[in-house]
Chain A
Amino acid sequence: MTENKLNPDSWVDQYADYLFNYAVARVSNGEIAKDLVQETFLAGLKSAKNFQGAAAERTWLIAILKRKVIDYYRKINSKKGKAEVRMTYNNQSDSAGDWLEENVADPFSTLENDEIENEELGLAIQECIAKLPKKQSSVFVMKTIQGFSTEDICNELGINPSNLWVMVHRARTSLMGCLNENWFKL
């Protein structure tokens, strides 16, 4: 087995988006998620000498980020009175029903699962995008996620539209293959 090494120089380029998606799904606030990712990188640097090369770099960083997320929840809950769950009864509506009955979870709802699944899907896609060649991935990301127009991307990257579509095609084809492996086979 090849030993894994850390190269902090490429951390931001390689893992920032991946970690950010992971964090945003957990703290549901972009600003806080960003700070957590930043802290993760710094903590990673600090304890880089303890890295034994047994895990992949990304797995290792995710492990740190997990601790950071837990610490974050601990911190906001340690403020007095914040630890309790507050429920407000909504009396704007004219529903005269039973409070408890209205607040009970819908047993047939699968919405919670959807959210978890979407998050995992997001990470799987992110992983697959990271495997693409740099140029293809930047074109794909700009087009699909950031939603830039074809014209803007062409100007930005100095390519012509047919070039762009070829790259989009290659990116999409590899993504289909990659997701087939990593997502549908689960």
Chain B
Amino acid sequence: MINCEQASTICNKKQYKEATLLEQINLSLHLFICKACSSFSRKNSKLTVLCNKADLQLLSEQEKAKMKETIERSI
């Protein structure tokens, strides 16, 4: 049997599809008996859904460096 700490790690891995089959089985067994972890797991999946839905955009590091340069030049 796995403990809650291990369960949360597997749950996080699962959000990035990096949990192995054995881990997933262990997790679902644990979620079956542990209320706190099932609540955490639910919220965690929700966060993943939200992040995917938001489709966040980022500026690359080079672009940021260029911006910084331009700002410094005009100070």
Contacts and interface: CB of A to CB of B under 8 A. Distances in A.
Interface of A: 8, 11-13, 16-17, 20-21, 24, 30, 34, 37-38, 41-42, 45, 118, 121-122, 125-126, 141, 143-146, 150, 165, 168-169, 172, 175-176, 179, 183
A42 B71 CA distance: 6
B20 to A, nearest CB: 13
B39 to A, nearest CB: 11
A92 B42 CA distance: 47
Contacts of B68: 12
B59 A42 contact: no
Given A12-B67, A34-B63, A41-B71, A176 B44 contact: yes
B75 interface: yes
A69 B46 CA distance: 32
Interface of B is mostly: helix
Nearest to A123: B54
A41 B47 contact: no
Contacts of B13: 165
B67 A16 contact: yes
Given A42-B70, A45-B74, A172 B47 contact: yes
Contacts, number: 81
A150 B3 CA distance: 23
A182 B53 CA distance: 17
The 9 A-B pairs at the shortest CB distance, nearest first, are namely A122-B54, A121-B54, A12-B68, A12-B67, A145-B56, A176-B43, A12-B64, A24-B57, A20-B59
Chain B interface size, as a band, is 20 to 34
B75 A144 contact: no
B57 A20 contact: yes
Interface string B15-29: 110100000000000
A175 B63 CA distance: 26
A114 B33 CA distance: 37
B56 A165 contact: no
A175 B47 contact: yes
18 contacts: A12-B67, A16-B59, A20-B57, A34-B63, A41-B70, A41-B71, A118-B53, A118-B54, A118-B55, A121-B54, A122-B56, A125-B50, A125-B51, A144-B16, A165-B13, A169-B12, A172-B12, A172-B44
